[in-house]
């Protein structure tokens, strides 16, 4: 598998990005990597550190999108940004996938511009993993599509189900729609039309209807479908409340303990890191014909290495999505609308 790595994307890029790429290469002989970025800073980081030079190449560009830059402005002013060059390599079939820990909006914008979607997919969506009482759930979309149509949300549910089946081994994944009440009559037009779309599709038995914000961590469904604005707000809300509760527990609890204070501290911070870490992993942009993994801006070398090594499993997910799109065409009484 050959991947384009956005060497300039991430809070501390390119150091940990290049380091993670080198570690992944050393662990997987079937991996080819293209580091995209400023060769002046990349070369000193790789020189002498790799035996088989054929499996690692560098494509130079001196443009990079900052983490806080507007994706729209960056697309205009920096057509040769490292992110865009990665996408061009995928569009030209020179790589099988793109990995970036850079500006999420710019990664998505680049993907939308190349329009290299799986056949039938209308819009890609970001799938993130959230911890639940029973394991994990996938929330899709976490911010790629701020004005989705019902068909987009339907496809997100379908892609999320493929992801959960292929990557997490859940045989018959269930799907829920984020809404403001559990009853069918609740919510806005988008929610109602999306629910109808699911109920009239081959996924009708997997679709459990509406779920609410309080159900996310209960693990009621395997796949939570929502629009990108809501999904992004919820993802960050989970992060913030986790942080808040653990800090408040630490403040109140640790001060009240004596002989077992240290033990309690270890357990508490172990738990915090367990859940905090789960969101550091790279999130796939689902619906791309190829693989696109978006890492957390704060990714260290280990996170980058893991993202790269995990990329190949998403090829199987894509095969499953293409199958499901064909199931949908053959069985849905409501045809997919553009």
We find the least distance from the C-beta atom of residue 177 to its own copies, in angstroms, to be 11
Q: Is 139 exposed, middle or buried (0-12, 13-18, 19+ CB in 10 A)?
A: buried
The residues near 286 (Cβ < 8 Å, ≥ 6 apart) are 124, 125, 126, 127, 140, 156, 159, 160, 163, 317, 321
Residues 293-332, one symbol each (x = binds its own copies by CB under 8 A, - = not), give ----------------------------------------
Q: Which stretch binds its own copies (CB under 8 A): 50-58, 64-72, 113-121, 167-175?
A: 64-72
Check residue 277 for interaction with its own copies (CB under 8 A): no
Check residue 143 for interaction with its own copies (CB under 8 A): yes
Nearer to its own copies, 26 or 70 (CB): 70
We find the least distance from the C-beta atom of residue 141 to its own copies, in angstroms, to be 11
Nearer to its own copies, 267 or 319 (CB): 267
Calpha distance 191→84 (Å, rounded):
34
Count the site residues for its own copies by CB under 8 A. Answer: 64
Q: For the chain, state the CA radius of gyration.
A: 21
Q: Which of 185, 205, 330, 335 binds its own copies (CB under 8 A)?
A: 185
Q: Which 214-233 residues touch its own copies, going by CB under 8 A?
A: 214-218, 226, 228-230, 232-233
Check residue 238 for interaction with its own copies (CB under 8 A): yes
Check residue 132 for interaction with its own copies (CB under 8 A): yes
We find the least distance from the C-beta atom of residue 7 to its own copies, in angstroms, to be 23
Nearer to its own copies, 271 or 319 (CB): 271
Q: Which of 44, 49, 135, 146 binds its own copies (CB under 8 A)?
A: 146
The residues near 222 (Cβ < 8 Å, ≥ 6 apart) are 137, 138, 160, 161, 164, 168, 170, 173, 174, 175
Q: Which stretch binds its own copies (CB under 8 A): 8-16, 89-97, 241-249, 305-313?
A: 241-249
We find the least distance from the C-beta atom of residue 203 to its own copies, in angstroms, to be 22
We find the least distance from the C-beta atom of residue 239 to its own copies, in angstroms, to be 5
Check residue 72 for interaction with its own copies (CB under 8 A): yes
Nearer to its own copies, 1 or 250 (CB): 250
Pick the closest to residue 159 from 223, 97, 205 (CA basis): 223
Check residue 258 for interaction with its own copies (CB under 8 A): yes
Q: Which of 51, 54, 260, 333 binds its own copies (CB under 8 A)?
A: 260
Nearer to its own copies, 257 or 319 (CB): 257
> Which residues are near its own copies by CB under 8 A?
68, 70, 72-73, 105, 131-133, 143, 146-147, 178, 180-183, 185-188, 212-218, 226, 228-230, 232-249, 252-253, 256-261, 263-264, 267-268, 270-271, 275
């Amino acid at each position: 598998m050959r991947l384009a790595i956005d060497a300039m994307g991430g809070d501390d890029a390119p150091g940990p990005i290049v380091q993670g790429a080198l570690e992944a290469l050393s662990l997987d002989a079937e991996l080819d990597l293209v580091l995209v970025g400023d060769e002046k800073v990349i070369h000193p980081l790789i020189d002498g550190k790799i035996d088989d030079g054929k499996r690692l190449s560098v494509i130079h560009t001196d443009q990079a999108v900052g983490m806080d830059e507007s994706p729209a402005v960056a697309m205009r002013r920096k057509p040769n940004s490292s992110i865009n060059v990665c996408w061009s390599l995928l569009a030209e079939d020179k790589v099988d996938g793109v990995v970036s820990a850079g500006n999420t909006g710019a990664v998505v914008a680049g993907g939308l511009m190349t329009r290299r979607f799986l056949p039938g997919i209308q819009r890609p969506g970001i799938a993130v993993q959230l911890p639940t009482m029973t394991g994990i759930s996938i929330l899709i979309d976490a911010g790629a599509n701020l004005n989705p149509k019902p068909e987009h949300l339907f496809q997100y549910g379908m892609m999320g189900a493929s992801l959960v089946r292929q990557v997490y081994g859940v045989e018959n994944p269930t799907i829920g729609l984020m809404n403001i009440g559990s009853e069918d009559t609740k919510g806005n037009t988008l929610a109602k039309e999306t629910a109808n779309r699911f109920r009239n599709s081959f996924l009708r038995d997997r679709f459990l209807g509406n779920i609410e914000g309080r159900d996310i961590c209960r693990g009621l469904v395997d796949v939570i479908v929502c629009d990108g604005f809501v999904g992004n707000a919820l993802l960050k809300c989970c992060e913030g409340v986790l942080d808040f509760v653990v800090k408040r527990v630490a403040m109140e609890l640790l001060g009240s303990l004596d002989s077992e204070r240290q033990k309690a501290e270890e357990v508490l911070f172990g738990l915090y890191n367990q859940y905090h870490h789960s969101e550091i992993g790279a999130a796939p942009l689902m619906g791309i014909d190829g693989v696109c993994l978006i890492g957390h801006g704060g990714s260290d070398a280990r996170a980058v290495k893991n993202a790269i090594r995990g990329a190949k499993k998403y090829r199987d997910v894509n095969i499953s999505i293409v199958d499901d799109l064909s199931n949908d065409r053959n069985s849905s009484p409501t045809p997919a609308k553009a």
